[in-house]
């Protein structure tokens, strides 16, 4: 028997790929949880088709899940993978280009039969398992389907049911290869199938079979150890972006003492926030699946009028439908959080693919002069912080606030040193107090020092008043078509947004020196790739720094000064140039756009190459 040797690695990228019905997302998520519990730093990237059951065996139906984990700091899911798990020939064909030369390929040989070859448009003579095209790689051919069927031959289950367990075989094998703990997946299977013991036992059996396959066959000469990462001390959990956003909203509800109302309509990739929130009704969370996007935001406006912490959520196409109502909320000067989990557009675009092309929509996508506050999260766990912050600003300033995220961080996961609730900043809310007939008449648009108006909720004696979308006279709130008043109100609504700058943190440099040759200025989900690229450039001796803007409207007060300390400012974005236009307009600097519009995140090596091009 060959001796199995243990090798120690600093970091590894594994990509699980298969048919969209092969359970690759589940496999990836389980591996992520086990890896997080093992103490590695990590980042993940689920990459799947929009169709729930895309045509079987085809290239379009390939679903992938990439995880990058290590004993060092991990910022991205990795540009290229070290290991590719391919459940069929289509999965191999789609993903081989991103596998490192010499990387490990684990294939399910049963996914390379004549039928699968035909579905993937691969001529029979070019079977990659036999035609020698994979000689540069470390190819491991495993009869996953056959072994799974054999293991469950006596289970009494149908072949179809048995085949659904084959992802557990792969998971077990990869767990073995990387010394991952298996227990959390056992617990998961026990909970998931507690009402169907046969399926539970079948999955557990196959998971163990995968592990044992690694142990007993002579196919694998190496196992790998990836030591826990040296991370900041504290208690951690794994978290996905949408999940973190949901927690942030709930936390804001608890800390403000206001019940949360989430009015929405299902849309990829925002629906998971609705799913998550609807689990927590015991926190007083009220979720409302409306008849359409417009009703989603309008119901939230009704709830805001009534004194709730009101939130609506969607993705770009839904935000387009909500535009008029966002204008209404701006005129009503009620607190409202608008969540946009961006996806590739326009129109339906590519719903499961990421993009950052809704920034202009958030900034300007309404009729009339309609400024709102815009925040953008930079990583999965940052979705918690900024969703919380969005609520805090909306409530303090009586104003609509956009919370921007994107498909990449919404579905991506990372370890999170989560906060204690007592350490979260306080959110103080006060409603206008009841009045007697002898008191002065209530003025619904009387403003405080931050220009915000009183929140006078129905049911409060003496505060009867009318608000609406028609221009209002300042202070009284009465309808007004007065020319000077309209200009005044337009300025006041803008100043309200500008005032928020007094309450947000200053912009800081994330990596690199405070001054230098080039500043990489990013926003949103590109954070990890830009950070990695910057650190690599610095290591190579370039005078490059990275800053990431999370508060976009208004910008932090010192942003202009910070940028002025660099000879060149480059703005990489997953769009055709949006933040760069705002930066150029506002600061009158010759910021250089760097754009990628492929529905895919930046790879850090692409960024490195681009920056070198600019500098050299």
Partner 1 sequence: MAEVIEKLTSKDFSSDQEVRWCPGCGDYSILKQVQTILPDLGRPKEEFVFISGIGCSSRFPYYMDTFGMHSIHGRANAIATGLKATRPELSVWVISGDGDSMSIGGNHFIHMLRRNPDINLLVFNNQIYGLTKGQYSPTSEQGKVTKSTPMGSIDYPFNPIALSLGADATFVARTMDRDPKHQQAMIRRAYDHKGTSLVEIYQNCNVFNDGAFEVFTEKSSKKEQTLFMENGKPLVFGDNNDKGIKLDGFKPIIVDINDSSVNDLWVHDETDLVKATILSRFYDDPSHDGHFPRPFGVFYVNNNKATFEQLFNDQIAYAKEKMGPGDLDKLIAGKETWVVN
Residues of span 131-190 touching partner 1 by CB under 8 A:
184
Any contact of residue 290 with partner 1 (CB under 8 A)? yes
CA distance 327 to 221: 63
Q: In 278-426, where does DSSP find H-type helix?
A: 293-305, 316-332, 359-364, 382-397, 407-411
Tokens linked to 221:
């000469």
Candidate segments 9-17, 29-37, 94-102, 199-207, binder of partner 1 by CB under 8 A = 29-37
486 binds partner 1 (CB under 8 A): no
- What is the C-alpha separation between 587 and 192, in angstroms, rounded? 54
Smaller CB separation from partner 1, 68 or 255: 255
Burial of 293 (0-12, 13-18, 19+ CB in 10 A): buried
Binding residue (CB under 8 A) for partner 1 from 18, 210, 307, 412: 307
204 torsion bin: left (phi>0), alpha (psi -120 to 50), beta (else)? alpha
Nearer to partner 1, 39 or 593 (CB): 39
Under rule CB under 8 A, how many of the chain's residues touch partner 1? 75
Nearest-approach distance from CB 40 to partner 1, in angstroms: 10
CB atoms within 10 A of CB 598: 12
* Residue 254 binds partner 1, judged by CB under 8 A: yes
Residue 305: other Cβ atoms inside 10 A: 17
x-marked contacts with partner 1 along 418-447 as a string, rule CB under 8 A? xxxx--------------------------
Which pairing describes strands 516-523 and 566-573: parallel, antiparallel, or unpaired?
Answer: parallel
Largest CA distance in the chain: 96
Does 396 bind partner 1 (CB under 8 A)? Our answer is no
Rule CB under 8 A: is residue 59 a binding residue for partner 1? no
Q: Does 605 bind partner 1 (CB under 8 A)?
A: no
Binding residue (CB under 8 A) for partner 1 from 26, 56, 320, 463: 463
Q: Does 475 bind partner 1 (CB under 8 A)?
A: no
- Which residues make Cβ contacts (< 8 Å) with residue 369, sequence separation at least 6? 490, 493, 494
Binding piece for partner 1, criterion CB under 8 A, among 106-114, 156-164, 275-283, 504-512:
275-283
Cα of 45 vs its chain's centroid, Å: 10
Q: Which stretch binds partner 1 (CB under 8 A): 86-94, 277-285, 528-536, 565-573?
A: 277-285
CB-nearer residue toward partner 1: 251 or 362? 251
Q: Give the range of 36-44, 192-200, 501-509, 560-568 binding partner 1 by CB under 8 A.
A: 36-44
Q: What is the C-alpha to C-alpha distance for residues 232 and 424, in angstroms, rounded to an integer?
A: 19
CB nearer partner 1, residue 156 or residue 228: 228
* Structure-token pair, residue 478: 């009465």
Please report, to the nearest 10 degrees, the dihedral formed by the alpha carbons of residues 314, 316, 320, 322 taken in order: 10
Residue 441, exposed/middle/buried by CB under 10 A (0-12, 13-18, 19+)? exposed
- DSSP codes joined into one string, 265-320: ---TTTHHHHHHHTT-GGGT-EEEE-SSHHHHHHHHHHHHHTT-EEEEEE-HHHHH
- How far apart are the C-alpha atoms of 44 and 163, rounded to whole Å? 26
Q: Identify the residue among 298, 363, 518, 552 touching partner 1 (CB under 8 A).
A: 298
| 320 touches partner 1 (CB under 8 A) | no
* Residue 368 interacts with partner 1 (CB under 8 A): yes or no: no
Q: Which of residues 190-249 bind partner 1 (CB under 8 A)?
A: 228-229, 231-239, 247
Q: How far is the CB of 236 from partner 1 (least distance, A)?
A: 5
Q: Which of residues 38-57 bind partner 1 (CB under 8 A)?
A: 39
**Binding test (CB under 8 A) with partner 1, winner from 300, 399, 519, 607:** 300
C-beta of 103: minimal distance to partner 1 in Å?
29
User: Segment contacting partner 1 (CB under 8 A): 34-42, 65-73, 345-353, 605-613?
Assistant: 34-42
In the bound state with partner 1, the residue whose beta carbon lies nearer, of 255 and 531, is: 255
Phi, psi of 337 (to 5 degrees): -105, 130
594 DSSP β-pair partners: 572
Q: Which two tokens stand for residue 588?
A: 């009158």
Q: Is 607 in the site for partner 1 (CB under 8 A)?
A: no
Does 102 bind partner 1 (CB under 8 A)? Our answer is no
Closest CB to partner 1 among 26 and 457? 457
- What mask of x and - would describe binding to partner 1 in positions 556 to 595, judged by CB under 8 A? ----------------------------------------
400-408, 457-465, 531-539, 576-584 -> range binding partner 1 (CB under 8 A): 457-465
Tell me how far, at minimum, the Cβ of 296 lies from partner 1, in Å.
8
- HSE on the CB side for 422, CA within 13 Å? 0
Radius of gyration from C-alpha coordinates of the chain = 27
Interface region with partner 1, contact rule CB under 8 A, candidates 14-22, 213-221, 274-282, 406-414: 274-282
Q: Determine which residue in the list 325, 530, 537, 544 makes contact with partner 1, applying CB under 8 A.
A: 325
Q: For residue 512, what are the contacts with CB-CB under 8 A and spacing of at least 6? A: 534, 538, 543, 544, 545, 546
CA atoms within 13 A on the CB side of 496: 30
Give the residue, chosen from 91, 96, 250, 537, that forms a contact with partner 1 under the rule CB under 8 A. 250
Residues 479/451, Cβ–Cβ less than 8 Å: no
């Amino acid at each position: 028997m060959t001796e199995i040797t243990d090798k120690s690695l600093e970091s590894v990228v594994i990509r699980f790929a298969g048919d969209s019905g092969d359970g690759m997302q589940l496999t990836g998520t389980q591996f992520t949880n086990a890896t997080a519990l093992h103490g590695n730093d990590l980042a993940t990237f689920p990459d799947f088709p929009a169709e729930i059951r895309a045509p079987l065996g085809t290239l379009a139906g390939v679903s992938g899940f990439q995880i990058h984990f290590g004993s060092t700091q991990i910022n991205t899911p990795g540009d290229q993978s070290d290991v590719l798990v391919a459940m069929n020939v289509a999965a191999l064909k789609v993903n081989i280009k991103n596998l490192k030369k010499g990387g490990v390929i684990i294939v399910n040989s049963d996914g390379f039969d004549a039928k699968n070859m035909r579905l993937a448009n691969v001529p029979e003579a070019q079977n990659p398992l036999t035609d020698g095209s994979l000689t540069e790689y470390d190819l491991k051919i495993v009869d996953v389907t056959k072994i799974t069927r054999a293991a469950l031959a006596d289970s009494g289950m149908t072949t179809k049911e048995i085949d659904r367990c084959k992802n557990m075989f792969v998971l077990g094998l990869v767990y073995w290869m990387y010394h991952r703990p298996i227990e959390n997946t056992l617990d998961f299977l026990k909970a998931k199938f507690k009402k169907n013991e046969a399926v539970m036992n079948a999955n557990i059996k196959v998971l163990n079979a995968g592990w044992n396959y690694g142990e007993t066959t002579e196919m694998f000469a190496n196992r790998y150890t990836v030591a826990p990462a040296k991370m900041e001390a504290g208690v951690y959990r794994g978290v996905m972006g949408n999940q973190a956003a949901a927690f942030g909203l709930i936390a804001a509800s608890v800390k403000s003492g206001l019940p949360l109302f989430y009015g929405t309509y299902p849309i990829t990739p925002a629906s998971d926030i609705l799913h998550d929130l609807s689990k927590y009704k015991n926190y007083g969370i009220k979720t409302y699946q409306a008849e359409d996007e417009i009703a989603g935001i309008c119901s939230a406006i009704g709830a805001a009028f009534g004194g709730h912490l009101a939130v609506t959520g969607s993705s770009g196409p839904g935000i387009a439908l909500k535009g008029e109502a966002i204008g209404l909320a701006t005129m009503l000067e009620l607190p409202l959080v608008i969540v946009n989990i961006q996806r590739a557009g326009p129109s339906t675009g590519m719903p499961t693919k990421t993009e950052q092309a809704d920034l202009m929509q958030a900034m300007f996508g309404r009729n009339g002069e309609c400024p709102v506050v815009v925040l953008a999260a930079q990583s999965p766990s940052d979705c918690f912080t900024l969703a919380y912050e969005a609520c805090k600003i909306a409530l303090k300033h009586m104003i609509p606030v956009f919370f921007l995220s994107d498909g990449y961080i919404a579905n991506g996961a990372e370890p999170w040193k989560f906060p204690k609730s007592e350490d979260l900043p306080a959110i103080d809310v006060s409603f206008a107090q009841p009045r007697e007939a002898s008191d002065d008449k209530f003025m619904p648009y009387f403003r405080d020092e931050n220009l915000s108006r009183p929140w006078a909720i129905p049911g409060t004696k003496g505060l009867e008043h009318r608000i609406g979308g028609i221009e209002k006279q300042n202070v009284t709130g009465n309808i007004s078509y007065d020319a000077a008043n309209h200009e005044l109100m337009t300025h006041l609504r803008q100043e309200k947004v500008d005032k928020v700058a007094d309450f947000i943190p200053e912009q800081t440099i994330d990596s690199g020196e405070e001054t230098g040759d080039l500043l990489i200025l990013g926003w949103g989900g590109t954070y990890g790739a830009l950070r990695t690229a910057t650190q690599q450039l610095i290591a190579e001796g370039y005078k490059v720094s990275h800053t990431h803007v999370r508060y976009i409207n208004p910008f932090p007060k010192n942003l202009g000064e910070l940028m002025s300390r660099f000879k060149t400012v480059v703005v990489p974005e997953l769009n055709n140039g949006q933040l760069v236009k705002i930066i150029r307009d506002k600061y009158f600097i010759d910021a250089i756009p760097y754009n990628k519009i492929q529905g895919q995140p930046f790879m850090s090596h692409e960024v490195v190459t681009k920056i070198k091009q600019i500098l050299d």
